[in-house]
Amino acid sequence: MNTFPFKIGIVGCAGRMGRMLVSEVLATPECRLSGGTEPVGPLVGTDIGLLVGPKSLGVQVSADAAALFAASDAVIDFTVPAATLHHAALAAKTGKIFVAGTTGLSADMVASLQKNAATAPIVFAPNFSVGVNVLFALTEKLAATLGPDYDIDVLEMHHRHKLDAPSGTALGLGEAAARGRNVKLTDVWRKSRDGHVGARPAGEIGFATLRGGDVVGDHTVIFAADGERVELTHKASSRSGFARGAVRAALWARGRGPGFYSMRDVLGI
């Protein structure tokens, strides 16, 4: 199915990430913006073009997510967990492509997304940056190659407004390291250290979280052994990379059947 233009809708279109997604859809020749939603409030009825630039598009912000799914080939969601679960249910009902980049979802919430993927193509990732997804693959490979003599820590920093910690990307990096070691992350993680915590146990995967300023997203995976340290780092200076990856994922899912997909599937890594 290669019909153009490919119609993409954005939920949460007035937020920081939502506006970036709108701009990316508008900049992608084979795509057309089918609409955008926000909760009931003063932004509903605003021309979406005026959210990202000086030109009107003739497409207004709506509060009707069901109508957005009906008008779209794919819907992209970088909002909050409760809203994402609602939108995933709409995707399952309509069979439309759903690309979800929301972080802070519990294991039960992810399982709910997987259920909805029985009747719709759902692409879910903690981070849609192509560079970060290469970092996931490298982290898994290094964890498997370096072995248990190397302690692993994930250090992340984000802007002061970020709601969840550790970030979804940091947890994704922890999951990648755990896969490389063939262990379950929740059996070996330490999300914070405070006070007299004692010596570090063997095999622990640690997390350190920083918040401040307008940092879009910095992540470093540290492999530390006696006598040497290996560090893998990704720094995002703009949300545009996340938006590019999400639109790429939506286009990749075009014509595919129902299923629960990741950026590893999209990128073939």
162 catalytically annotated: yes
> Which residue among 7, 87, 96, 158 is the active-site one?
158
The answer to whether 15 and 79 are in contact (CB under 8 A) is yes
Pair 224, 250 in one domain: no
Which residues, in sequence order, are CB contacts of 268 under 8 Å at separation 6+?
none
Write down the H helix ranges in 123-262. 130-146, 168-181, 185-188, 240-253
Give the global pTM. 0.82
Taking 50 as the pLDDT cut, the residues of the chain under it are: 1
In angstroms, what is the C-alpha Rg of the chain?
19
Domain count, the chain: 2
**CATH number of the domain that 258 lies in?**
3.40.50.720
Look up the domain containing 81 and give its range.
Answer: 6-124+239-267
Pair 10, 111 in one domain: yes
217 occurs within a structural domain: yes
**CATH number of the domain that 185 lies in?**
3.30.360.10
44 CB neighbour count, 10 Å cutoff: 15
Q: Which two tokens stand for residue 48?
A: 């979406």
> Which residue among 162, 184, 191, 234 is the active-site one?
162
1 occurs within a structural domain: no
Pair 186, 220 in one domain: yes
- What is the C-alpha separation between 63 and 67, in angstroms, rounded? 9
